[in-house]
Structure 1
Amino acid sequence: MIKAALFDLDGTLLNRDASVRKFLMNQYERLNKWLGHIQKEAYIVRFTELECRGYVWKDKVYQQLIDEFKIKELSSDDLLKDYVNYFKYHCVSFPNAIEMLEELKGRSISLGLITNGLGTFQMNNIMALGIDTYFQTILVSEWEGIKKPNPEIFNRALNSLGVQPNESIYIGDHPDNDIRAARSIGMLSVWKIDAQWDHVDSDFTIQGLEEIPPIIRTLSVPNCI
């Protein structure tokens, strides 16, 4: 019997690729006085390449952009502050996120969220999506002092919700940080397909968030897996 569903943020609830692109287009337009000598698409593509889907922090990314594109009168710190302050206004969720969370909440499923990243930055993004009130517990790696795939951050979330690993399911897109880590402590796992990986060994695989409630309904049936 599943009592709790826990989620990753980036790539699972937050459409990070779309959000980053939306932000960069806006940043380019707002700072066009200093960035206008660069072709817009070249700026967006190079940023995306350098940041490796969020695994390279933006101070290094922006310094590289400044060097490569010969950006004058803006420092990497200026661009980083702009990113931190404005990214939250460009957050895009995957389709059906709110509807899915509403359905799970209506079924009295406890909800949690575990994300790597900087505390205030990630909380701003969560709030920007309008999903913060659905979760009984939200753990951000900076505030916890540990990050996925460390199993301790998963155990903290489960303890906060008062459920056992075998009563919970974890939904994420990363094969190691999300799926393998959750399974290592006995949670069921749902891999939200990401084209970056060909195959992930998970209990369930989904294309869209609307597929989660039916999975949980199925798991409410005894001996369903």
Structure 2
Amino acid sequence: MVKAVIFDLDGTLLDRDASLREFLKDQYARIPQLQRIPRSAYMERFIALDQRGYVWKDEVYRRLIAEFGFDLRWETLLADYWEGFRHHSRPFPNAGSMLEALRARSLSIGLISNGYGEFQSANFRALGFADLFDEVIFSEWEGLRKPDAAIFHRMLDKLDVEPHEAMYVGDHPVSDVAGSRAAGLMGVWKYDQLLEAPDEHDGVLMDLADLVGLIDDYLRR
């Protein structure tokens, strides 16, 4: 019986790759010192250094300034990123309608995201469907990070459901899928062509719209 569905944020609900590209275009256009190199060169190098979000931006900006000789302080660029990224947050297709469908089925909905609380919270709210969630957890504010089972159990306590009654949906094969399954939840992989598929999972989503049918299959069992 599925009573709750819990989501990751980046790469699952938030299309971080598309959002980052939109932010970088805007940052480049607004800051003249960056325009000493072509926009494509700036964006491509940022994305390479960023490693899909796993390198924090102070280091990314330090490297960019060192490599290209920008007459800027890394703190200035980091503050601009911190404030500006939220304005370019983009959800994956069908995210909102899928969440509405889960709510219509009276399922509890939660979010567990690794990262800085203030930054991730702003990006999450910018997607426009935060009011559909019952509980939200950001790792910095909890002092826990995925794949630690404790962070999944903390969410289960908040939603008042047992592990076997909850499904976790995320793109990372270890932090999201393996981590949630180790904590006793069903772990569903949001497909990402750049990541290796998890060894074990409880379903694969090519499109968020497919989650409703997957859950209906479980509810019929």
TM > 0.5: yes
Q: In structure 1, the residue corresponding to 2:36 is in which secondary structure?
A: coil
TM-score by length of 2: 0.98
- Return the alpha-carbon distance in structure 2 between the equivalents of residues 155 and 131 of structure 1: 24
- Cα distance between partner residues in 1 of 2:121 and 2:76: 22
Shift of residue 131, structure 1, vs aligned partner: 1.8
User: How far does the alpha carbon of each residue in 1:2-26 deviate from its partner, in whole angstroms, 9 at most, with x for none?
Assistant: 0000000000000000000000000
Provide the rounded CA distance (Å) in 2 between the counterparts of 1:86 and 1:197.
27
Gapped runs of 5+ residues in structure 1?
Answer: none
Q: Which residue of 1 is the match for residue 125 of structure 2?
A: 127
Q: What is the SS of the residue equivalent to 1:209?
A: coil
Structure 2 letter corresponding to 1:98: G
Q: How far off is 1:180 after superposition? A: 0.2
Counterpart of 1:46? 45
Matching residue of 1:3: 3
TM-score calculated relative to the size of structure 1: 0.96
Report deviation, 1:28.
Answer: 0.1
How many aligned residue pairs are there? 220
Alignment partner for residue 135 of structure 2, among 129, 137, 145?
A: 137
Tell me the residue number matched to 2:160: 162
AA paired with 1:215? L
Aligned partner of 1:146 in structure 2 is 144
Residue 206 of structure 1, CA deviation: 1.1
1:187 aligns with 185
2:2 maps to 1:15: no
Query: Which region of structure 1 is more displaced relative to structure 2, 188-197 or 37-46?
Result: 188-197
Residue identity in the other structure for 1:24: L
Output one character per residue of 1:187-220: Cα deviation in whole Å (capped at 9) or x when no partner.
Answer: 1111011112242221101111000011111111
1:120-139 deviations in whole A, cap 9, x for unaligned? 11110011001211111100
1:199 alignment counterpart: 197
| Matching of residues 79-94 of structure 1 within 5 Å | 79-94=77-92
- 1:62-141 equivalence runs, <5 A: 62-72=61-71, 74-141=72-139
CA distance in structure 1 between the aligned counterparts of 2:158 and 2:210, rounded to whole angstroms:
26
Q: Distance in 1 between matches of 2:183 and 2:118?
A: 28
What secondary structure is seen at the aligned counterpart in 2 of 1:157?
helix
| Aligned-partner residue type, residue 50 of structure 2 | E
Q: Percent identity?
A: 46
Partner of 1:61: 60
- Structure 1's consecutive aligned runs of 4 or more residues displaced over 3 angstroms after TM superposition are none
**Residues 143-174 of structure 1 deviation map (CA, whole Å, 9 limit, x = unaligned):** 00111111100000010000001001000000
1-structure distance, mates of 2:47, 2:6: 28
SS at match of 1:93: coil
Does the 8 Å CA contact 2:171/2:177 hold for their aligned counterparts?
yes
